Amino acid sequence: MLMHKNGYEVIAAIDVGSNAIRMSIAQVDARGNVKTLEDLYKPTGIGRDTFATGRIQAASLHDLCDTLVGFSRVMKQYKVRHYKAVSTSGIREAENKEYVLEQIRVTSGLEVRGINNTEARFFMYKAIRELINKAKTDSHSGTLIVDIGSGGVEMSAYSRGNLKFTEYIKVGSLRLSEILAGLEAKTLDFPQVMEEFIDSKISFFTPLLSQARIKSFIGLGGGLRTIIEMCRAFDSSAGQNFVKSDTLKRLYLKICGMTTSQIAKEFKLAQNDAEVLMSSVILFHNFLNMTDAEGIYAPMSSLRHGLLVDMVDELLDTPGRHEAIGDIISSVWYIGEKYFIDEEHCRYIEKHSTSIFDQMGKIHRLGQRERLYLQVASILHDIGKYINPNSHDVHSYNIIRFQDILGLSERELDIIANIARYHSHEIPSQTHENYRMLESGDGIIVSKLAAILRVAEALDISHKRKVKGIELQVWERTINFNIWASEDMLLEEWNFTGNAAFFEEVMGYRPVLKQRRVQL
């Protein structure tokens, strides 16, 4: 990264959330140290518009644009050259989201990118990287991370040093209050109704969390700072970043006997804040009850902090960037396990496809992000066999396309799903809607990576893992695949030859299989 002559760079992170717009401006030095210079905050009504009517209303949009125009001016005053601006469920789920993002761009000059839940969770994990690394070093117990947003709850469990699973449920604090708003006037026990609704959405996590042996609980979002302050009414010794299980229980029991108006009056909260906090307390309490944790640790990190860390990782290529990739891959293996993939075969294909990719760098001219796509597709390419071995490539596409994979956007999922779609007998074609609907430029990425995956798959068509090593040598317009194998390769050579034409068409080099040495 080219630093200013004074040795640091000023960067900015903007979170266009469902109920507030926030911006952090920070200074980063060449070592990656980040110092926050200013935080800005402005409430917004876009989440209530979206969750209640499905569209962002004109008045809310005008206020949103005016706020971002002001944020843009502040960025110019700080001479910000690098920024990330993202929107979450408040805009993402609005039917008129494209118009909203375009008006933001035209009025403020800011490019706001809509991110899905897994991307938001990925940034949050970057914000609490040190805590996660600490969890990984504890091999005897698990750690649960619960992030309560306005639109939904993201939860992930670490156990024995690995990310075991990550899930998203649409039971966010603001969404719950909007969905159930009409019921409060019809019952004297509204908290009980809300709890029953929440239980119906999250109870299936209980056996998963039991297997993970959760001892540590990290809480994010959900007004957790306010909840901890409310808990001090029962425990004056409570810290700023931790709430004990029994203290949260007492708060939970208290609010479950109160109306929203009573909660607002008792704890001096606005009516809207009381509605949201009621659902957050119930969510945190119920998740905590599924674990053996003594309480909830609240690092008070935010999506903006994660965006800042992500920018630093990209600009300075820090070790944290590679650690994050490891967590993505770990979550992908969890998905594969759910669908009973052949783990040994998939690990074998992952190993050889990435080896081929790395040795062909000067030919395909793709980067590390594309390598990740190939890696994920290699792990999940046969996942469709869970539904039916026949046409399993099509089923693989459909399963992958609708997964929530940590840190991957919908566009990236579409690319990966298409790579898996074409790992078998069919090749990409404009007559296929799934391929034709790819964004501009993504088709060639799919074709190149599918070509690599197909030859890697061909080398283990028997699922006997005969190939022990692959070394590529380029000669004019030919790539020699020198392989070291332990058994006869007649079947693999036949399948490899069948995929050579597509590989040559895409890459411009004809692949030739050469068995140089047999290991006995």
pLDDT values of the chain reduced to their tens digit, one per residue, 520 residues = 445 556 789 999 999 998 889 999 999 998 888 899 999 999 988 988 998 899 999 999 999 999 999 999 999 999 999 999 999 889 999 999 999 999 999 999 999 999 987 888 888 888 887 666 665 555 567 888 898 887 788 888 887 667 777 788 888 777 777 777 677 667 667 777 878 888 888 887 777 777 777 888 999 887 888 888 888 877 777 677 888 999 999 998 888 888 888 888 988 888 878 877 888 888 898 889 888 899 998 887 888 999 999 999 888 887 777 778 888 898 899 899 999 999 999 999 999 999 999 999 999 999 999 999 999 999 999 999 999 999 999 999 999 999 988 889 999 999 999 999 999 989 999 999 999 999 999 999 999 999 999 999 999 999 999 999 999 999 899 999 999 987 888 999 999 999 999 999 999 999 999 876 554 4
Segment holding 463, helix H or strand E: none
Q: Identify the pLDDT of residue 130.
A: 66
Q: Are 516 and 468 in contact (CB under 8 A)?
A: no
Assign domain 318-463 one CATH number from 3.20.20.100, 1.10.3210.10, 3.40.50.1980, 1.10.287.3510: 1.10.3210.10
* Residue 149 CA: distances (Å) to CA of 17, 18, 348, 401: 9, 9, 38, 24
Domains 8-115 and 129-300 share a fold: yes
What is the structure's pLDDT at 487? 84
DSSP codes, 398-422: HHHHT---TT--HHHHHHHHHHHHT
In 151-172, which positions are buried (b, 16+ CB within 10 angstroms) versus exposed (e)? Answer: bbbbbbbbbeebbbbbbbbbbb
Residue with tokens 């399948």: 495
CB 232 within 8 A of CB 242: no
Q: What is the pLDDT of residue 520?
A: 45
Domain boundaries, the chain: 8-115, 129-300, 318-463
> What's residue 13's pLDDT?
97
**Amino acid sitting at position 305:** H
State the architecture of 129-300 in CATH terms: 2-Layer Sandwich (3.30)
Measured in whole angstroms, the distance separating CA 295 from the mean position of its chain's CA atoms is 26
pTM beyond 0.85: the answer is: no
206, 51 contact by CB (below 8 A): no
**CATH number of the domain located at residue range(s) 8-115 in this protein:** 3.30.420.40
